[in-house]
Amino acid sequence: MRSTNVVQAQFEQICEEQYLPMSDGTQLKILTSKLQQTILENSYSTQYTLMLIPGWGTIVPSWDDFLMEAAQRFNIVYLETREKDSSILGKHTHSNMDRNAQDIQEVIEFLNVSQKQLILVGSCFGANSIAYGLMRNRFSPLMNVFIGPQLRFPLPWYGRFLIPIAPYWMFYFFRPILRFWLRYFQTTDKKQAQKYIRIINEADPKKWKKVGKAVYFEEFSSIFPQINQFIYVIGEGNDKMHKASDSLRIAQMLPKSEFVMMESNAETHSAMMAKTIAGLISQLQITEKRQ
């Protein structure tokens, strides 16, 4: 297992790191923190656990501003999914979207987190993994937040055909093309482009191939109408990779949802996003008290 993150996020300095065994022999890394301080007069937030399922290949520093703000309001669980460099994949594991959803379920059960006090937040691939779990009734949290969910895994057309059949080492030849595609066709923000390029640079090709080939061709539109729980869907206004129009369409597919538009990918990964979620929880508590 390689360690390629040169710069450590602030959250990584305050959290506890551990590996959890999954039922198929895989081990996944989680980062957890207990509430650092209550910054609101109302101490409601000490009751809740926020579990973040980040996007494909995402590194912790991408979420640092969000996590540091959220850690002042909630207990935190950050799950590094199977395609991440940190995972230790079982020899006979079969990775697909339902397996990702089962991982989330097993982490919740292992940590004994009360689902009545659980906020599940997923970004892109992470949101779709949560969606599968909700469709299968694997968990039923208090609140679900989908940030930039996808109708289909974002890849250039040739990638869908080459990745499943090409040997993993060919990734190194295609990496410059992926960097070019991300920089000039999938982002308008320089910082976001740098973040994606770092993800590509630090990718583990073997894991990306093993985990990714099960989802690269999958259409996700059929799962959203089958979810009966309420979902907050967050659109990322100027993000080309996670199109706001797709997020809005997904919100419309969901039987119970509310669509919230934010300005950019950077804003959805910022302290503002954590404050927005805290505000939604506060509104939920007020509604419950009135009932």
CA distance 36 to 179: 38
For the chain, which domains are there? 10-290 (3.40.50.1820)
Between 242 and 97, whose confidence is greater?
97
Distance between CA atoms of residues 280 and 252, nearest Å: 20
Residue 113 near residue 77 (C-beta atoms within 8 A): yes
Structure confidence at residue 46 (pLDDT): 60
CB distance 225 to 255 below 8 Å: yes
CA dist 25 and 89 (Å) reads 7
Report d(CA 175, CA 166) in Å as an integer: 13
Residue 28: is its pLDDT beyond 80?
A: yes
Instruction: Report d(CA 259, CA 231) in Å as an integer.
Output: 9
Asked if the model's pLDDT at residue 75 lies above 80, the reply is yes
**Rounded CA separation 88/82 (Å):** 8
Q: Which two tokens stand for residue 76?
A: 């935190």
232: nearest Cα among 281, 272, 287, 285: 281
Mean pLDDT of 71-76: 94
Q: Residue 240 to residues 112, 189, 193, 208, 247: CA-CA distances in angstroms?
A: 38, 10, 11, 22, 12
pLDDT at 92: 82
Q: What is the mean pLDDT of residues 73-87?
A: 93
Min mean pLDDT across 28-42, 131-145, 229-243 is at 28-42
209: CB partners within 8 A, 6+ apart? 163, 164, 168, 171
Asked whether 133 and 104 are in contact (CB, 8 A), the reply is: yes
% pLDDT > 90, the chain: 52
158-213 tens-digit pLDDT: 666 666 677 766 666 667 777 776 666 656 666 666 666 677 766 777 787 777 77
In this structure, the number of other CB atoms found within 10 A of the CB of residue 118 comes to: 22
Residue 88 above 90 pLDDT? Answer: yes
Determine the pLDDT at residue 168: 66
Question: Of 136 and 219, which is predicted with more confidence?
Answer: 136
Show the CA angle centred on residue 23, arms to residues 18 and 26, nearest 5°. 55
Instruction: Tell me the per-residue pLDDT of 108-142, one tens digit each, with 9 for 90 and over.
Output: 999 999 999 999 999 999 999 999 999 999 999 99
**β-pair partners for 41:** none
When pLDDT is averaged across residues 252-261 and rounded to a whole number, the result is: 96
pLDDT bucket at 5, cuts 50 / 70 / 90: very low
Does the pLDDT at position 87 exceed 60?
A: yes
pTM of the model: 0.84
Sheet containing 143-147: order of strands: 16-21, 27-33, 75-79, 49-53, 118-123, 143-147, 231-236, 257-262
CA distance 141 to 128: 15
